[in-house]
Structure formats: structure tokens, C-alpha cells
Amino acid sequence: MALKNRKCPNWKVKVLFLSILELLLNFQNFILVHCYMEGNKCVEKMANMAIGQYSRAKYYMYHPLELISSLWADVSGISQWCHFSMMNAC
């Protein structure tokens, strides 16, 4: 489902959780990811952020069923998708 030749989204929120219960108990476990172009690859630079610091950023969040495939879903309503492999390239 990865879309190639797409512009990198500027910011996305990567929510890390092992289960829905963990997500409910500790919603602040996330990483704000800066996605930028490096040659023809889309690479991500991760930085820990506190909640509230990304209010103006675009929201990207894991769906529990998509955790393994690392498929990013834009939950802010903007139809942008970016699939990250283990090499952080899309």
C-alpha cells in the first residue's frame, strides 16, 4: 500500500504501543518524527516531544492492526500516506 514518488510529510506523530491497553494507559508514549528528502528517499529523524508541543503539526498515528506493517495513517483528515520500511525510507 506504499505510495511512491510522494512528497514527504513535514511532521508526523509516531505513537508507540504494544497493545490498545498500553495506549490507553500511557498515551504520551510517542515520537515526533521529522520526515525529509535525502536524495530520492524519504527518511525520518526522530525526536522525543512532550504532549502539546505538536498542536500545529500534522497528526500521523499507528492503527493497532497496522503496527507490524508500519503503515502511517494521517488522522487529521489530509489524505497523505507514507510507508516506512526498517531502513526508514519510503
Instruction: Give residue for cell 508541543.
Output: 53
Q: Count structural domains, the chain.
A: 1
- Mean model confidence pLDDT for the chain: 43
- Residue 27 within any structural domain of the chain: no
- Residue 24 within any structural domain of the chain: no
- Residue 52 within any structural domain of the chain: yes
- Residue 72 within any structural domain of the chain: yes
- Residue 9 within any structural domain of the chain: no
C-beta separation of 66 from 73 below 8 A: yes
- Range(s) of the domain holding residue 46: 33-88
- Please tell me the pTM assigned to this model: 0.20
Check the CA dihedral 57-62-68-70 and report its sign: negative
Q: Using 50, 70 and 90 to split pLDDT, how confident is the model at 54? A: very low
